[in-house]
Every structure is written in C-alpha cells, then in structure tokens.
Structure 1
Amino acid sequence: MTSPQHFQESPHSENTASSDGTAHPAPAVHPYIPNSVPAVRQAMLDEIGATSVEDFYADIPDRIRLHRPLDLPPPLRSEAELTRHMNALLDRNTSTRQVLSFLGSGCYLHHVPAVVDEVVNRSEFLTAYAGEPYEDHGRFQALWEYQSMMAELLDVDIVNVPVYDGFQAAGTALRMAGRVTGRRRLLVATAIDRDKLSRIEDYVRPDHDVTVLPVDPRTGCADLDAVRAALAAHDTAAVYADTPSALGIVDPALPRLAELAHEAGALYVVGCNPLTLGVLAPPSAYGADIACGDIQPLGIHPSYGGGNAGFIATRDEEHLVAEYPSRLFGLVPTEVEGEYGFGDVAYERTSFALREEGKEWVGTAAALHGIGAGVYLALMGPHGMREIGETILAHTAYARQRLARVPGIEVPYGDTLHFADFTVRYTGGRTAAEIRARLKEHGIHGSLPTGVHEAAFCVTEVHTKADIDRLAATLEEIVT
C-alpha cells in the first residue's frame, strides 16, 4: 500500500525554475516505485557514497549522451488512469477474433481448448520463473510430461524445455550441428521465411556462414542438383530444410536431402510444424539428426505476433545430447520407494552451470508455453492429432483449388502437397499490397505480400468452406 507521504511529495503539474529562468518539471514520484521518493533516493545515494545518480553514468562518453530529458508524457498516477490509457491503445488493434483472418507464415490461428488456458493460468505455473526443486509445485513434472509427449510425436528420445521461439530453436540446432562436425558452412535447401533466415544468420555468426540455395521455380521444391554441387566441397556442417517450407510445401525430396547430407559428412536438420505430425512422418523417419520448430500451433494463442516457443529434438546419443544448451528434465527415483522426482539432466553442460564458459546462453521466457502445449497434446491424443492434420490438409487443398478459379489469380506449384500455408500469384494488374489493403476494407486479413504480385494465405481447422468461399468471392471483386 502506498503511504500518503508519496503523494504529498509528488506535485502533479508544478514546475520548477532553473537559474536561467527555464521551467523544468518537478521530479516525478511514482506511487508504485518507492525508490522515486527524493528522500529514499538520497538515503540510497548516501549509503553507497554517491553524490547523484549521474555518478553511475560517468563512464558513458559525452559524445553519445543525450543532454536533455527524454520526451516522455507525464506519469499516470492511478491504476484507473493507466487502465484507461492502455485500453485506448489496445483498442486501436484489430485481432483475428474480430475479422476473418487468413494470416499464417509462422504464427497460426488454431482453436485453443479452454482447459489449456485453465491449466497454464494456475498460480503455481503462471508465476513461476526458473525455480529449483525446493519451490517446485509440479512444474518440473508438467514439463517432463510435455517433453515425453513431444518425443512420442517426433519419434525421438530427447526433447528440450522450450527455448524462446522456433527461430531460435533453428539457430541453436544449426550451431549444435556445427559443434558436432567442426565445420563452418550451413546450407538451406528449401524455401525459408525471410524473418527466420535473418534470425538464423544473426544467431550463428560469426562462427558460421549461411548459404541459401534456390528452389526449383517450377515446383517450389529443393533443387537436388544445387544441393549436390554445394556439398561437393565437404565443408558443410548441416543441411537445413523446413517442412512445410515457407511456401507451405511438403517437399517429397526430404529423404533424399538426408542421404546427400550424410554422404558429405554433414548433419541433417529439419524444422517442422508439429501439428503436421498426426498425418505426416516425423523428421526422424527420413533421416533427420536434429528436428526443431515452434510449438505455437499446439494450444498457444497468437498474441500480437508472439505466443511462440521453440523445441529441439534428437536421438539419445551422447555427442548430440552434450550439445544441447537448454534444460532437459528427467525422471529420477527418490529415497521413498515407489516415488519419483523430476529434475535436470546433464545440468553441467548448460549455461546455468557453466556461466560464461557455456556453449550458448538460454533463458526461461517460454517454459510456460511448454506446459500449455503439453496440455494440448494430452487432450488431442493420437486420434485428435490425426483428425486435425487431415482437416487442415483438406482445407488447404480446397482453398487452393477455389482460388485458382478466380480470374486474375494463379496458384503456383501444381499438385505439390501443401499444409496450411500456400502462395497465390496475381495476374490482374493490382499489386499484392493493393489487394491486401482492399481485403482489409472488406474485413478480411490475409494476402501477406511475398513479392510485388505474389502473396501468402493460410487456412487451418478453424476455417470453414463458407469462409474460403467468402475470400474467393471478395477476391473476384478486387483483383482486377
């Protein structure tokens, strides 16, 4: 509770004048930040022997200092004011619940069962940070259950506690491959999202160089001849492929990429959408050494572009497990017969144990999403995962066929299998940006531009035939 002193020492709008007569706002005292009270601040400075807060910034070169106050609005001094201000800002957004959305490309609109939100909002999960066994209230077991179900889904032995997002998971998986092989070059063999590529390149440098190989322009699939030629130098640490690719394509060349990588002494790293694995073979089935991806489709709401968490999965082989920088939770016996505990596996390999000597550094921002994904997988089960996968495949096929009948639209890449995401090409004269703006006027989010006259759409299990028909009818009005 805030004491009356805080408010008595906090003028709301009074100004003070300097020796030159310039008016300056009085120091702001925030009712929820006790250290902003002048008397409290001075007591802290006296305790450490500093004359002012400026003493802490003395090492910052003068040439890069601002020399004026930041242009900030006055503080909002009550919870009611702050709530009203934030609601006004949030009301400027239009969410996917308010309009018909066909956006995808890495952040997908799926149905999230109510029980998922109920579990992850329990206080023992929601407020937990990293934690150790003495303050654990079932979180370690919940994450172990998540790892176990993900391992079954991916047909592997080891899955980590989630890292920040799928982009980081891909970057980490490729760095792991580099440490295993001792090589520098990383080859990307399938179409890849531009943002994902940018994140990977930032994450793996300066230790690795990323080479993106062009895909076959007719099929959108990997160009095996280009991959074979790039591997001839035998300097490649890993071949990387996405399934589905950034074009939404499930590439039939995925098994052959594994063979080419292994023949050249490289590892094969596959990024996959885990929601496909009820109907498609997991990466381990066609030779992947490391699988990675984002668990956002598994019961995590899209949240202003967020709601992401990354997984990494491998066989239980020491040379692979030793390179995980993130936490792994395992099942261990206790002193009580018949009871088990849950704790870190090979903790000594992590940056938590090694600190500055760590191979990589990881945080804990996404562990809660792992619990949500675990609840989702438990609810769905094998039958549910198969059903939702079949539904999305059917919806994607219908959407591509329906939009291909719209005058002024081509749907490239023929009969290649797509999952959720797919590309269209506008031939009626309008650009993808123009069509996207017109769709928004009709209450439809979609048509994410991937080129001047190309755009990406996405359908999932939440879309109906009527939704897709409405999109097609709207496009018929605006593409030319």
Structure 2
Amino acid sequence: MGRHYLPNLAHRDEMLKEIGFNSIDELFSDVPAGMVKEFNLPEGKSEYEVFLELSEILSKNRTVLEMPSFLGAGTYFHYVPAHVKYLIERSEFLTAYTPYQPEISQGMLQALFEYQSIMAELYGLPVVNSSMYDWGTAIAEAALMTVRLHRGKRKRFLVPKALSPEKRAVIATYTRGAGLEIVEVPWDEEGNLDLEKLKEAVGEAAGVYVEMANFFGLVEENVREIGEIAHDAGAYFVVGADPTMLGLFEAPGELGADIAVGEAAYLGNPMNFGGPRAGIFAVRNDKKLIRQMPGRIIGMTRDAEGRRAFVMTLQTREQHIRRAKATSNICSNEALVAVASAIHLASLGPRGLAELGEAILKNTAYLRKRLSEVAEIPFEGLYFKDVPARFEKPYSEVHEALLERGIHGGYYVGKHFPELGETALFAATETTRKEWVDALIEALREVA
C-alpha cells in the first residue's frame, strides 16, 4: 500500500491519534473479519495504454444485430428514436440535478411536469411523482405507503408469486427495517393470480399488488376482480403495468387501482446493462394518498406577475424536510431517464403507442407459436413480451448450444421457480425480427 500515493497518507498516524485510534485495524474493528483488504492495484498506465486495453475488451462485445437475443425478464431491447438521445443531451437536461432551488430550474421543472402529465393520462390516475429509482423500488415504496396509510396497524403486503425475483429482493430489502410481512400469493392452473388463495390471505393486508403482465409474460385476466377483493378487505390496490402495453389495454386507474407503478425506462432509454432506470408512481386524487407519496411532485402555478411558473408542489423526501417526517429516503431523482421517456411518449402519441403495443403483441404471439413446436408452453393465455418454454433436457445445455450457434437464449427461471422445471423465458419486442425467431427455432430443433 505504501508504494501508491494516497492523499494525506503521511498524516495517517496523526489523524488516527486525533480520533482516538492506534491503527487502521482498530478503526475498522467492528467490520467482520476478512472484509477489509489491501488493494493490490497494478502499476499505473498512460491514458493511451488504458484506451487500447479497454478497446480490446470492448471489441469482444456483439450487438443484437450480430447475435439475436431473446433475453428479457424485465430488461428489453426497445428501439429509441435518434431525436430522443439528441434532445436529452442538451446541457440543460444532461447536467441538471435535483433542483434544490426549483425557481431557477424552470426548464427542468416543466419537462418533469410534462412527464407527470403524460404518465397520468397513460396510467389513468391524476397524480404522478417525478419518478422513483426503478419499477422494483416503486413497488417497495408503494408497500411502505400502504402501511403508513393504515397508520402501521396493518403490516402485511401481498404480492404475486409470479414476480421477478429481482423485484422481490428489492421489496424485501426496502421493507425489512419497517417490519413489513411480504406474503406471496400463488398462481392458478392458468398462471393467473389464484383468487381463492388471495381471499384466504388478504385478511389484515395493508395492500395487494398485481402486475400487467406478470413475470411469465401472461396478461393477468382478473385485475378488476383482484382489486375488488383487496378493497372489500380494506386493503389498498396497487397495480404494476408496463407502459408499452397501455396503448392497447385498460389503464390501472380504470381497473380500480389506488396506486400504480411501472418502468419509465422502457421508453426513450437503452438497456445500459440494466440501468439507470426510472420508476413510475401514480395515485388517485385523494389528499390522504397524495400526502403519503414518496419523492416529489412538480406543479404549475402563477408567479407574482401572473406568469406561468413551475414549482415543487410536494417534496417529502429526507433532503427537503426533517428526516423523521420524510415519506422516502430516495436521494436522487432519475430525471434524465424520465425526461427521455416523456419525449419518446410525446413523439409516439396515442396512435403510435397503440401501434407499438400491437407490434410487440404480434411478435410475442409469433414467438409463442414457434416455441410451442419445440418446447412446452406451461400456461395458456395471452402473452406480452415474455413467453415461458419448458424443455426436457437441462436448459443450461440448451443455452450453451444456442450461444455456440450465435443466438442468445432466454432467462432460466427454474432456479427461482423449481416447480416449472427446465423453463426459460424468451422475450420479443417491436425490434424482434421474424428471421431471428425462425433461426432460434431451427437451432432449438437441433439441440433441445
């Protein structure tokens, strides 16, 4: 460690003495053994040497045009129009951070106001915040919000078992400190949420969550009925919806949702190895709900001279108000991702969004039809984006064989849902080409 220059290294002993410690080991004594290690860093390189090394590594990557990919399960390859990237790279958007002095950030506030307005229309609920981190954290914040709305008297939150394991992990992490009990409701024979099991579990639940479509890609058939069961038990109804399907299907608000969540990054943003993202969060027009919303809400008003102006109408995060009274500890807003999604949605318009949904639905239907020729589809019903396919041999072998043939297969779910056996989710979007699907099926005929 001594051969690398670190700022103030020469003053280390002096600083340790000042704070009452004799060594670095003593300073970190409460960290579990083996967690603190010396950094075995190599000698430094010039910028050009680093450039050459990174270029060599990056050259190993293959684009989706070179290697068709059917990997989805929550992260999808969507086409982003060129003008979206151009507009969000304008300096007033690209460098904008959380507006702590909102009165001097009128442009960014207006862009976020437009985002809220578009999402409110899309999700059928009038009040939308300026976005969460992602869909998973939006679900977790909704769970915490339903408990606050019950003043902590109810601490159970029901989620479908057919939920992304990554979202489930995020929910568990977010709600552990607050002592929430997360209860999974199984699926029925058709792959939909089991209504009878829901009725048995909903008793003292603070909220009930359901997704359109569920993790297996099935478009849930009984969303309205699930909402009625939740409301009859005094629970709040939370609906998660993929925004790319809302040009074709009923909005969560029309289906009785009190709270709706989703993923804004599906529009206007590339995959980026899974991030950054922006979680959509909307509620019905009820002051009790609005006051408990996490994050921030941008509103429109008039200034002292009667001119239109944008303001932070609600800012209940801990950096704006006293920590003990904050509804959320979200420390940074995914504003750029939200603005990109708003630009993309505004460009599509209602007709374009419907056409996008139709293209995804048709491509998914074709993928399902062809997959059924070489594998078993576990559930009947309408699929959107993801399609589960069950194989007789271990999917790891199938996947490796597909990679050897220049095709990236689906997401293996047997690890998380062993009852489904050797099943993987294969995904299609508007970008999926017929010849890619045909090549996948021909490869599966050989290996599966």
Which range is displaced more, 198-207 or 377-386? 198-207
Write out per-residue CA displacement over residues 261-320 of structure 1, whole angstroms, 9 at most, x where no aligned residue: 000000111111011100011111111110001112111100112232101101121111
Alignment of 1:149-164 (within 5 A): 149-164=118-133
Q: Percent identity?
A: 33
**Structure 1 pair 49–460 and aligned structure 2 pair: CA distance change class (3 A):** same
Match of 1:191 in 2: 162
Residue in 2 that maps onto 1:15: none
Aligned to 2:184: 212
Measure the CA separation in 2 of the matches of 1:198 and 1:422: 22
Q: Does the Cα contact within 8 Å between 1:164 and 1:366 map onto a contact in 2? A: yes
1:163-312 alignment runs, 5 A limit: 163-181=132-150, 182=152, 183-189=154-160, 191-205=162-176, 206-216=178-188, 218-231=189-202, 234-312=203-281
Which residue of structure 2 lines up, in the alignment, with residue 384 of structure 1?
A: 352
Change (3 A) 1:56 1:331: farther
Structure 2 counterpart of 1:115: 83
Aligned to 1:136: 105
Asked which structure has the greater CA Rg, the reply is 1
1:87 is aligned to 2:59? no
Distance of aligned partners of 1:37 and 1:62 in 2 relative to their CA distance in 1, 3 Å threshold: closer
Structure 1 unaligned regions, length at least 5 = 1-23, 30-35
2:425 is paired with a residue of what secondary structure?
Answer: strand
**Equivalent in 74, 84, 90 of residue 106 of structure 1:** 74
TM-fit CA distance, 1:92: 4.2
Please state how far the C-alpha of 1:27 moved relative to its aligned partner: 3.2
Work out the CA distance in 1 between the residues paired with 2:42 and 2:22: 22
Asked if 1:320 is matched to 2:289, the reply is yes
2:320 is equivalent to residue 353 of structure 1: yes
| Deviations, residues 416-463 of structure 1 (Å, cap 9, x unaligned) | 111111101113xx2111111111111111221111411100001011
TM superposition shift of 1:154:
0.9
**Contact 1:436 / 1:448 at 8 angstroms: preserved in 2?**
no
Consecutive unaligned residues of structure 2, counting only runs of 5 or more, are 415-420
Over 3 Å counting, the alpha-carbon distance change for 1:62 and 1:174 in structure 2 is closer
Aligned: 1:418 with 2:390: no
1:409-448 correspondence runs (5 A)? 409-414=375-380, 416-427=381-392, 430-448=393-411
Separation of aligned partners in 2, 1:448 and 1:412: 15
CA distance in 2, matches of 1:53, 1:143: 48
The AA in structure 2 aligned to 1:396 is: T
How does 1:13-92 map onto structure 2 within 5 Å? 26-28=3-5, 36=7, 59-61=27-29, 69-76=38-45, 78-92=46-60
1:248–1:422 CA contact under 8 A, matched in 2: yes
Indicate if the aligned counterparts of 1:190 and 1:245 stay in contact, CA closer than 8 A: no
Residues 190 and 242 in structure 1, CA contact (< 8 A), matched pair in contact too: no
Q: Secondary structure at the match of 2:206?
A: strand
My pick for the range that moved more, 358-367 or 255-264, is 358-367
**Contact 1:164/1:363 (8 A) holds in 2:** no
In structure 2, how many angstroms separate the alpha carbons of the residues matched to 1:401 and 1:265?
A: 42
Question: Which stretch shows the higher mean deviation, 112-121 or 60-69?
Answer: 60-69
Q: Which amino acid in structure 2 is aligned with residue 215 of structure 1?
A: W
Aligned match of 1:124: 92
Q: Which amino acid letter does the alignment assign opposite residue 378 of structure 1?
A: A
Residues 43-64 of structure 1 show CA distances to partners (whole Å, capped at 9, x for unaligned) of x999999699988886432885
Per-residue deviation, 1:336: 2.9
Give the residue type in structure 1 aligned to 2:389: V
| Distance change (3 Å), C-alpha of 1:127 and 1:58 | farther
Note if contact 2:388-2:425 (Cα within 8 Å) is conserved in structure 1.
yes
Cα separation, 1, equivalents of 2:271 and 2:21: 41
Aligned partner letter, 1:437? E
The letter of the residue matching 1:109 is F
In the superposition, relative to structure 1, how do residues 178 and 94 fare at CA in structure 2: closer, same or farther (>3 Å)? farther
- Residue type matched to 2:376 in 1? E
The 2-side partners of 1:63 and 1:114 are apart by 48
2-structure distance, mates of 1:352, 1:223: 41
Contact 1:190/1:241 (8 A) holds in 2: no
Q: Which amino acid aligns with 1:225?
A: E
Relative to structure 1, the CA distance from residue 203 to residue 47 in structure 2 (aligned partners, 3 Å threshold; closer, same or farther) is: closer
Does the 8 A contact of 1:301 with 1:307 survive in 2?
Answer: no
TM-score, normalised by the number of residues in structure 1: 0.85
Question: Hey, what's the Cα distance between the residues in 2 that align with 1:51 and 1:155?
Answer: 56
Q: Contact (CA 8 Å) 1:435, 1:447: kept in 2 or not?
A: no
Q: Which moved more, 1:206-215 or 1:80-89?
A: 80-89
8 Å CA contact 2:93, 2:108 repeated in 1: yes
Match of 1:360, as an amino acid? S
In the TM superposition, residue 93 of structure 1 has moved relative to its aligned partner by 4.0
**1: CA distance between counterparts of 2:272 and 2:439?**
25
Structure 1's 73 and 148: CA in aligned 2 closer, same or farther, altered over 3 A? same
Distance 2:344 2:96 in 1: 20
Whether contact under 8 Å (1:162, 1:367) holds in the other structure is yes
Q: Secondary structure at the match of 1:352?
A: coil
For this pair of structures, how many residues does the alignment match?
436
Secondary structure at the residue paired with 2:310? Answer: strand
Range moving further from structure 2, 80-89 or 220-229: 80-89
Secondary structure at the residue paired with 2:320? helix
The alpha-carbon deviation at position 79 of structure 1 amounts to 2.7
Alignment correspondent of 1:33: none
